[in-house]
């Protein structure tokens, strides 16, 4: 298959690129977001665009889409220079984009979102049919009649993809399209994407922090750093470690890299078909390079399994933690049931997390994780069940009760519930501890800035200034703002939902270190993740969630891809 | 016999009082779904009321007056739209200024001019008007009342079923996302204001050449604000909004009828009673937060 593809490419004459950028520059005040960027994207190729958080990837793409005006440089479609001064012009030129944030209307249904921006009469039946057809063709299952605000992050991403692909763009830009998809979903997407790109001769620009995706799915790759192109190569002539080095400007630890690479095959759908050559080489699970977890911090790390509620007890392989009876779990979820619109999203979910322990809640996107996250953020109430912190039940009806009881949360959708986009970086950083930076009822700007400056430095937040609105930060840096705030509030329980989505390799490494530090400092960490290698690398126990139920809890040492795969499939092994 | 007659009379005048509100509400509802809190509704109604009387007097045709009212509403909608959604001046400020301006202007103009009285024709539907109790109120009315039969479903269809309406809703909810999708956000909002202006103008004109035949100072007396309240307490649903308007109309009719029925109440209290009643009813019915998320927020590209 590969050879056929290769030949097909060699047969097509070295025609003019689909898209050619010359000397594109863009400054935001003192920040140079794009610095004299040259980029060629050919028909029928997937072009990978890599770079740290804030390297200027999204800015460059927004320029292509007419959302941001460049300071200088030319954009050429084929041989003709074009002027893309607004999104309508980009659509007319056949440039489509799946955005990192912001392009679905929550209050509308899937099919309404998909046809938004078309012209002509609305034909609901035809629209639904088209959605279904595109979704079948690309393997992105979705209910066309569902309202978007009811969908999980993964499902929304699917809608974004469907919306974009349905318009049949000749240049398709995907800005971190898979950050919320499971590995299997991503693999499937890339298989289809690659095939369709070849068959239909489209050009694709793919932005991703996952090096494995880049190496598996792209033909050529460009690395941006501080707005400049620092590296450019055919993908098959480079390696993930080399790319990571170009991105960050230093060597990156193996484990973080392993996670960024996303190499472990998951639940019986190994991405083998997608990644012919590359997957094999560095595709060793982190557990073979390094021990899967930190040498467990001895005293409290043993799971407090003794008073465990039924669901946990029923699970295989939970070590009955001997003398651990004394330890009160820092976080205890018991019998949580949530139903929305008659659908049971969480059903009798019980889980304990001991102080100093990291428990990974692993499962495929859309199995109740986001509901659990919302519940622990205080956004919704369970129909039944309780949440206990340090042995004390929390009155969930009271706003802010969870926060006051010492629960910190890194929400899954940081963009909508993690930060206030129009408030400044400093304000967002101190938001949960306003008391500490104010005297006599007024916020002291001096104190606020001192705290914010410290956190920004500690968490490497790159911002034009501390007074700039969070909106003006790059996606990854917005993320760091949430992390910095939650970790600095000194929680005794930390819930981290998909904490590394959208982070670059360096930042992932940093995040892992911080979560481990938090745990060894006695914080109980609940890590909600769809990335197997992430839970394997961090957690000491892995609970698997499927259809809103915990199907099993395994100590990481006993967790194999097969056993987890069965649990993920809902088979209580 | 007299009780039934009384009810019939109150119903009749209730409907007449509610019609201008309902017309304007259809406009305001659409504008708000597109994200504009259109305060200048009052100016639209007042200006149209004056313009319709002046035009009717000049041409001798009340229908021409109605048309003039619609045009004046359109002009005010156009001005508001361009100030708020092109020059990006705060929509509330624009609205308040337009309202003050229109009140001053019409108050002045009415003192220096005199107009003949003209009223649009009455329609009386045979057979149906003889239905006891509701026959007369529903089937003996000035003809613009029956425009509602067209305007209400049309407004609903436009918002809920047409592509234009889909884009309006998108623009009212998440303008940044709508923009990224290729919808011209500010253009849509200006268009929505034109629809609003036309209907508010019709409502204002009906108030003057439909009901009374003449214009007096500050004729609308805050009806524009009542409509805005109806949309808000109606939780941005057309049905509930119209219900609020009907309630206000009925309460207002009661106020007018009470003295005739021999009941005396403090007259100041009587004047505020319909407002209070409408407010209370809307509070009781108000449910859920369905406010368009970008209501009242200006849109500017690039702040994504
Ligand atoms: N509207 C804006 N105003 C000011 N600065 C901005 C604005 N948008 C982006 N920037 C700055 O431009 C730089 C590049 O941002 P960009 O969003 O392109 O990064 P990115 O490569 O997409 O990063 P990530 O991987 O985190 O999404 C950042 O330093 C960011 O703070
Ligand atoms: Mg980005």
| CB-based contact A116 B170, cutoff 8 Å | yes
Ligand with an atom nearest the CA of residue A473:
1
- In DSSP terms, A81 is beta-bridged to A76
The stretch B13-34 carries a mean pLDDT of: 95
Q: What's the pLDDT at B287?
A: 60
Q: Which of A85, A105, A127 to mutate to test the interface with B (most CBs of B within 10 A)?
A: A105
Cβ atoms A428, A478 nearer than 8 A: no
Q: What's the pLDDT at B288?
A: 58
SS (H, E, C) A175-222: ECCCCCCCHHHHHHHHHHHHHHHHHHCCEEEEECCCHHHHHHHCCEEE
Confidence of residue A12 (pLDDT cuts 50, 70, 90): very low
* Residue B44: half-sphere exposure toward Cβ, Cα within 13 Å: 40
Residue A123 has pLDDT above 60, yes or no: yes
Would an 8 Å CB–CB cutoff place A88 in contact with chain B? yes
Chain A residues in contact with B302 (beta carbon < 8 A): 67-69
Residue spans per domain, chain A: 4-94+168-249, 252-416+491-568
Kindly report the nearest CA distance between residue A344 and chain B, in angstroms. 22
Q: What's A526's DSSP letter? A: E
Q: How far is the CA of A422 from the centre of ligand 1 (A)?
A: 15
| CB-based contact B304 A62, cutoff 8 Å | yes
Would an 8 Å CB–CB cutoff place A471 in contact with chain B? yes
Give the pTM: 0.71
Among the partner residues B162, B169, B182, nearest to A122 by beta-carbon distance: B162
Would an 8 Å CB–CB cutoff place B188 in contact with chain A? no
Confidence of residue A3 (pLDDT cuts 50, 70, 90): very low
Q: What's the pLDDT at A290?
A: 38
Confidence of residue A15 (pLDDT cuts 50, 70, 90): low
What mean pLDDT, rounded, does chain A reach? Answer: 78
pLDDT tens, position by position, B277-293: 767 766 776 665 678 88
Among the partner residues B161, B181, B184, nearest to A116 by beta-carbon distance: B181
| CB-based contact A122 B301, cutoff 8 Å | no
Asked if this assembly's ipTM is beyond 0.90, the reply is: no
Is A296 exposed, middle or buried (CB count within 10 Å of its CB: 0-12, 13-18, 19+)? middle
Kindly report the nearest CA distance between residue A275 and chain B, in angstroms. 33
Would an 8 Å CB–CB cutoff place A29 in contact with chain B? no
Ligand 1 atom closest to residue B302's alpha carbon, by position in its atom list: 1
pLDDT tens, position by position, A293-349: 334 333 443 343 333 333 333 333 333 333 344 578 889 998 899 887 667 788 889
Q: Do domains A4-94+168-249 and A252-416+491-568 have the same CATH topology?
A: yes
Is A79 exposed, middle or buried (CB count within 10 Å of its CB: 0-12, 13-18, 19+)? exposed
Residue A259 has pLDDT above 50, yes or no: no
Residue B104 has pLDDT above 90, yes or no: yes
Would an 8 Å CB–CB cutoff place B167 in contact with chain A? yes
Could you give the CA distance from residue A218 to residue A47 in angstroms, rounded to a whole number?
6
Q: Around ion ligand 2, which residues have CB less than 5 A away?
A: A 58, 100, 475
Confidence of residue A435 (pLDDT cuts 50, 70, 90): low
> A4-94+168-249 has which fold?
Rossmann fold (3.40.50)
Lowest mean pLDDT among A42-51, A316-325, B209-218, B222-231: A316-325
Chain A residues in contact with B177 (beta carbon < 8 A): 102-105
Residue A5 has pLDDT above 70, yes or no: no
> Measuring from each residue's beta carbon to the nearest atom of ligand 1, which residues come in under 6 Å?
A 28, 31, 33, 51, 53-59, 100, 462, 464, 472-477
The residue that leads in pLDDT, A460 or A9, is A460
Q: How far is the CA of A150 from the centre of ligand 2 (A)?
A: 25
Nearest one of B159, B177, B132, B157 to B7, comparing CA atoms:
B132
Kindly report the nearest CA distance between residue A87 and chain B, in angstroms. 5
Q: Which residue of B has its CA nearest to A473?
A: B304
**Token pair for residue A128?**
């639904």
Lowest mean pLDDT among A2-6, A446-450, A541-545: A2-6
Would an 8 Å CB–CB cutoff place A420 in contact with chain B? no
Q: What's the pLDDT at A263?
A: 38
| CB-based contact B293 A99, cutoff 8 Å | no
Kindly report the nearest CA distance between residue A164 and chain B, in angstroms. 9
pLDDT tens, position by position, A165-218: 888 888 999 888 876 666 666 777 787 677 778 887 889 999 987 787 888 889
Cβ atoms A58, A101 nearer than 8 A: no
Task: Please state, for a pLDDT cut of 70, what percent of chain B lies above it.
Answer: 95
- Residue from A97, A473, A477, A502 to probe ligand 1 pocket by mutation (most atoms less than 8 Å from CB): A473
CATH of domain A252-416+491-568: 3.40.50.300
Q: What's the pLDDT at B56?
A: 94
Q: What's the pLDDT at A415?
A: 66
Kindly report the nearest CA distance between residue B290 and chain A, in angstroms. 9
Q: Which of A63, A116, A163 to mutate to test the interface with B (most CBs of B within 10 A)?
A: A116
pLDDT tens, position by position, A479-527: 888 888 888 888 889 999 888 887 888 788 888 888 888 888 889 999 9
Q: Which residue has the tokens 């624009």?
A: B94
The stretch A255-268 carries a mean pLDDT of: 41
Lowest mean pLDDT among A281-285, A353-357, A374-378, B64-68: A281-285
Domains of chain B: 3-288 (1.10.3470)
The residue that leads in pLDDT, A92 or B170, is B170
Is A317 exposed, middle or buried (CB count within 10 Å of its CB: 0-12, 13-18, 19+)? middle
E strand residue ranges, chain B: 122-124, 140-142
Could you give the CA distance from residue A104 to residue B187 in angstroms, rounded to a whole number?
20
Task: Please state, for a pLDDT cut of 70, what percent of chain A lies above it.
Answer: 77
């Amino acid at each position: 298959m590969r050879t056929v593809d290769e030949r097909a490419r060699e047969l097509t004459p070295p025609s003019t690129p689909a898209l050619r950028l010359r000397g594109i520059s863009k400054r935001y005040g003192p920040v140079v977001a794009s610095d004299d960027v040259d980029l060629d994207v050919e028909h029928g190729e997937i072009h990978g665009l890599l770079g740290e958080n804030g390297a200027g990837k999204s800015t460059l793409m927004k320029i292509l889409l007419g959302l941001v005006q460049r300071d200088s440089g030319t954009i050429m479609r084929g041989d003709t220079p074009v002027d893309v001064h607004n999104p309508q012009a980009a659509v007319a030129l056949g440039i489509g984009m799946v955005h990192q944030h912001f392009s679905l209307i929550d209050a509308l249904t899937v099919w309404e979102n998909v046809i938004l921006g078309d012209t002509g009469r609305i034909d609901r039946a035809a629209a639904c049919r088209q959605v279904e057809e595109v979704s079948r063709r690309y393997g992105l299952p979705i209910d066309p009649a569902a309202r978007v605000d009811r969908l999980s992050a993964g499902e929304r991403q699917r809608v974004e993809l469907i919306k974009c692909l349905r318009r049949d763009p000749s240049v398709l830009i995907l800005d971190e399209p898979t950050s919320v998809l499971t590995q299997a979903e991503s693999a499937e997407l890339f298989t289809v994407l690659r095939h369709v790109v070849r068959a239909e001769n489209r050009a694709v620009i793919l932005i991703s922090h996952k090096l494995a995706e880049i190496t598996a799915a792209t033909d050529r790759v460009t690395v941006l750093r501080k707005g400049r192109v620092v590296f450019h190569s055919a993908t098959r002539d480079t390696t993930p470690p080399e790319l990571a080095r170009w991105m960050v400007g230093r060597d990156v630890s193996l484990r973080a890299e392993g996670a960024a690479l996303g190499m472990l095959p998951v639940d019986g759908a190994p991405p083998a078909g997608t990644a012919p050559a590359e997957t094999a080489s560095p595709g060793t699970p982190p557990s073979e390079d390094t021990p899967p977890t930190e040498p467990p911090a001895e005293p409290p790390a043993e799971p407090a399994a003794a008073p465990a509620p039924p669901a946990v007890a029923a699970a295989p392989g939970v070590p009955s933690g001997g003398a651990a009876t004394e330890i009160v779990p820092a976080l205890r979820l018991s019998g949580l049931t949530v139903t929305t619109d008659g659908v049971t999203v969480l059903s009798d979910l019980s889980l304990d997390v001991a102080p100093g322990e990291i428990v990974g809640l692993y499962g495929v996107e859309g199995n109740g994780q986001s509901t659990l996250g919302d519940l622990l953020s205080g956004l919704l109430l369970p129909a039944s069940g309780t949440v206990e912190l340090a042995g004390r039940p929390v009155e969930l009806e009271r706003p802010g009760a969870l926060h006051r009881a010492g629960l910190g949360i890194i929400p899954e959708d940081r963009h909508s519930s993690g930060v206030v986009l129009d408030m400044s970086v400093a304000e967002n950083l101190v938001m949960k501890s306003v008391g500490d930076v104010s005297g006599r009822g007024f916020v002291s700007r001096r104190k606020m800035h001192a705290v914010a400056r410290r956190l920004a430095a500690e968490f490497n937040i790159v911002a034009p200034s501390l007074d700039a609105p969070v909106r003006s930060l790059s996606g990854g840096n917005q993320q760091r703002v949430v992390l910095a705030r939650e970790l600095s509030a000194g929680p005794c329980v930390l819930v981290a939902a998909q904490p590394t989505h959208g982070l670059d390799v360096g930042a992932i490494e940093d995040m892992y270190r911080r979560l481990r530090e938090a745990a060894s400092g006695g914080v109980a960490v609940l890590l909600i993740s769809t990335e197997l290698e992430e839970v394997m690398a961090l957690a000491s126990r892995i609970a698997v969630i499927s259809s809103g139920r915990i199907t099993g809890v395994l100590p990481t040492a006993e967790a194999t891809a097969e056993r987890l795969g069965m649990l993920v499939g809902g088979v209580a092994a | 016999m007299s009780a039934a007659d009384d009810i019939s009379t109150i119903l009749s005048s209730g409907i007449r009082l509610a019609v201008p509100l309902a017309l304007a509400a259809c406009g305001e509802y659409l504008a708000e779904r597109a994200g504009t809190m259109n305060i200048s509704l009052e100016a639209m109604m007042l200006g149209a009321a004056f313009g319709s009387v002046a035009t009717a007097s000049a041409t001798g045709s009340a229908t021409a007056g109605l048309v003039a009212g619609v045009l004046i509403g359109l002009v005010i909608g156009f001005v508001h739209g361009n100030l708020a959604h092109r020059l990006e001046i705060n929509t509330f400020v624009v609205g308040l200024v337009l309202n003050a301006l229109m009140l001053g202007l019409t108050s002045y103009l009415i003192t220096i001019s005199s107009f003949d009285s003209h009223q649009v024709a009455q329609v009386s539907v045979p057979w149906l008007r003889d239905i006891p109790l509701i026959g007369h109120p529903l089937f003996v009315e000035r003809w613009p009342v029956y425009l509602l039969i067209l305007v209400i479903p049309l407004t609903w269809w436009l918002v809920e079923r047409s592509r234009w309406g889909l884009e309006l809703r998108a623009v009212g909810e998440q303008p940044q996302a709508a923009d990224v999708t290729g919808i011209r956000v500010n253009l849509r909002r200006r268009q929505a204001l034109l629809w609003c202006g036309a209907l508010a103008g019709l409502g204002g004109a009906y108030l003057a050449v439909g009901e009374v035949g003449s214009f007096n100072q500050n004729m609308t007396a805050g009806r524009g604000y009542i409509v805005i309240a109806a949309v808000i307490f109606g939780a941005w649903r057309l049905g509930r909004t119209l219900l609020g308007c009907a309630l206000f109309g009925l309460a207002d009719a009661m106020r007018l009828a009470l003295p005739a029925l021999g009941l005396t109440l403090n007259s100041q209290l009587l004047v505020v009673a319909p407002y209070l009643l409408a407010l209370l009813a809307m509070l009781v019915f108000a449910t859920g937060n369905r406010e368009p998320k970008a209501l009242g927020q200006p849109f500017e590209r690039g702040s994504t």
